């Protein structure tokens, strides 16, 4: 059983196995299930993610009308223009936002690790899939790797916006995705840890300030940011760039920052963007207090 990223990496290196394999073996032991049973469960999660992205790219809109259609706009931009940030990164952005658009439209998504941050892991997975051409098993292992790092965060810090701000949700999700990208691209367990740390470091202090208390604005577009950081950090780690602050210490810093945040910046919808003139106007409009 591992509790920290350091322990996770040490187990993988000592046994000469991948992060995903460490997670699979732990799940087999803890849940008393076979590898085939775990794969069957993870395949179901993968199918939910895939369906959500397919639905998003057909175009969805939330009941409030605050979100929807942006994933389609980005795909159109990718195919009709010459995107500055490149097609792979923008494809991840589109699919990450699309997943959260489906969530806002009351569709079915897979919380990774939460509903509000559900776009980062599948968005990046189905974007890098087109370049790395993984097998279905490798795609499931991608999710096991992400889950291994999420397991550490959940047990040592928080994945809740109400407890730790959006750094705990999209920050964790983007970092989980980054670590998984590295493994799929052939990186080492330590490089996965470096990618995770670099992604999370860049999202420390991110507040949770949903307009009108809904998981729409700015949540959907924050998944775009988390996915972008995940890909950039994965490339940095694969290039040999390291985090000067160890991964577990970054997680610890996130936990302490979350504890220091005022409640107005932790999912209450009372501060940040929710407390801007437009944020307050949208809330009143949705509540029928203004026209």
| CATH for 38 | 1.10.4100
Tens digits of per-residue pLDDT, 196-250? Answer: 999 999 999 999 999 999 999 999 999 999 999 999 999 999 999 999 999 999 9
pLDDT of res. 290: 72
Residue 260 belongs to some domain of the structure = yes
Overall domain count for the chain = 1
Question: How many degrees, rounded to 5, is the angle at CA 224 between CA 220 and CA 230?
Answer: 135
Quote the CA–CA distance of 56 and 119 in Å, as a whole number. Answer: 11
Residue 126 belongs to some domain of the structure = yes
pTM summary value: 0.97
Residue 39 belongs to some domain of the structure = yes
Tens digits of per-residue pLDDT, 30-80? Answer: 999 999 999 999 999 999 999 999 999 999 999 999 999 999 999 999 999
What does each C-alpha distance from 261 to 87, 89, 117, 171 come to in angstroms? Answer: 36, 31, 19, 15
Tens digits of per-residue pLDDT, 131-147? Answer: 999 999 999 999 999 99
Residue 185 belongs to some domain of the structure = yes
Phi and psi of 164, rounded to 5°? -135, 10
Residue 291 belongs to some domain of the structure = no
Residue 112 belongs to some domain of the structure = yes
Tens digits of per-residue pLDDT, 146-201? Answer: 999 999 999 999 999 999 999 999 999 999 999 999 999 999 999 999 999 999 99
Per DSSP, 61 falls in state B
Range of the domain at 269: 5-286
Residue 256 belongs to some domain of the structure = yes
């Amino acid at each position: 059983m591992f509790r920290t990223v350091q322990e996770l990496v040490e187990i993988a290196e000592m046994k000469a196995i991948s992060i995903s394999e460490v997670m699979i073996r732990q799940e087999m032991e803890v849940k008393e299930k076979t590898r085939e049973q775990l794969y069957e469960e993870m395949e179901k999660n993968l199918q939910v993610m895939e369906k959500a992205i397919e639905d998003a790219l057909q175009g969805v809109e939330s009941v409030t009308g605050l979100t929807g259609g942006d994933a389609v706009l980005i795909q159109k931009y990718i195919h009709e223009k010459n995107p500055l940030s490149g097609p792979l990164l923008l494809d991840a952005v589109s699919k990450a936002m699309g997943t959260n658009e489906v969530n806002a439209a009351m569709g079915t998504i897979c919380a990774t690790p939460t509903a509000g941050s559900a776009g980062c892991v599948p968005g990046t997975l189905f974007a890098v899939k087109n370049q790395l051409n993984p097998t279905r098993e490798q795609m499931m292992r991608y999710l096991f790797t992400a889950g291994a790092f999420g397991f550490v965060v959940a047990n040592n810090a928080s994945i809740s916006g109400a407890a730790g701000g959006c750094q705990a949700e999209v920050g964790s999700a983007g970092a989980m995705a980054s670590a998984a990208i590295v493994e799929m691209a052939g990186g080492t367990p330590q490089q996965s840890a470096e990618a995770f740390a670099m992604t999370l470091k860049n999202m420390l202090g991110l507040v949770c300030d949903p307009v009108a208390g809904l998981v729409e604005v700015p949540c959907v577009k924050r998944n775009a940011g988390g996915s972008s950081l995940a890909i950039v950090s994965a490339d940095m780690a694969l290039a040999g760039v390291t985090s000067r602050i160890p991964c577990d210490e970054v997680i610890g810093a996130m936990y302490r920052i979350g504890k220091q945040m005022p409640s107005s910046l932790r999912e209450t919808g009372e501060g940040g963007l929710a407390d801007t003139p437009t944020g307050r106007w949208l809330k009143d409009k949705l509540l029928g207090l203004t026209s």
